[in-house]
Amino acid sequence: MGKPEPMPRISYFYGIAVYMYYDDHAPPHLHIRYAEHEAKVLIEGGAVLVGSLPRRALKLVRVWLDLHQVEVMERWENARIRKPLAPIEPLP
């Protein structure tokens, strides 16, 4: 078996790292890491699928998603066809 493909980090803000896998499954979601916390978060709506985040970190992820919804979905589609995933602006 080959080495797993790396998970590109597409954004980073306030200690929150946002990742996306190239070979991930539907529904469209992000992998979020914040300190010792990890979660999978739906791109549409920002619901937590698996894991947990502190309330403040989840709120910041949802604000970021609201601002960058179109870009995040573009990255999801690019990941499906294995195109490079450009970074997305962090929260100010």
Q: Model confidence over 78-90: pLDDT tens digits?
A: 999 999 999 999 9
- Percent of residues, the chain, with pLDDT higher than 90: 87
Count of positions (residues) in the chain = 92
Maximum alpha-carbon separation in the chain = 41
Q: What are the E-state strand segments in 1-92?
A: 9-13, 16-19, 29-34, 37-42, 48-51
Residue 2 predicted with pLDDT over 90: no
CA distance 21 to 25: 9
pLDDT for residue 69 = 96
67 Rama sector, left if φ>0, alpha if ψ -120 to 50, beta otherwise = alpha
pTM for the structure as a whole: 0.92
pLDDT for residue 58 = 98
